[in-house]
Amino acid sequence: MGGLYGQKEQAYLLSEWIDRLVANENDFSFVKYEVTDLPPFLNTNQGFWATNKKPATGKMVRFYFENPSLKGIELIVHYMSYTKGFR
């Protein structure tokens, strides 16, 4: 996906080093992010043994990346966080 280059020590990062790091022109770069509720993935109309009748709840975060040399291609990374105890 990409990142920043020029970090000499790989075991840790100090904030004062960040201004000296550079991006590679062939990497994808961050564009934006979105936070939404989790969409329903499965039909939860169960008529038998399942005690939980509600769909899972939580948040989904999408991170959008683009590469200027790859016009029309957008990389989207999805992270989902489920609410604990969603009964």
4 pLDDT higher than 60: yes
> Distance (Å, rounded) from C-alpha 12 to C-alpha 23?
18
80 pLDDT higher than 80: yes
Bigger pLDDT: 82 vs 85: 82
Task: Measure the N-to-C terminal CA separation of the chain; round to a whole number of Å.
Answer: 37
In SS3 terms, 22-82 reads as EECCCCCEEEEEEEEECCCCCCCCCCCCCCCCCCCCEEEEEEEEECCCCCCCEEEEEEEEE
pLDDT tens, residue by residue, 22-74: 988 888 999 999 999 988 776 666 666 666 667 778 999 999 999 988 989 99
pLDDT at residue number 86: 47
pLDDT at residue number 73: 93
The tokens describing 57, both together, are: 């709840």
pLDDT at residue number 44: 61
Residues constituting the chain? 87
pLDDT at residue number 56: 77
Phi, psi at 46, each rounded to 5°: -100, 140
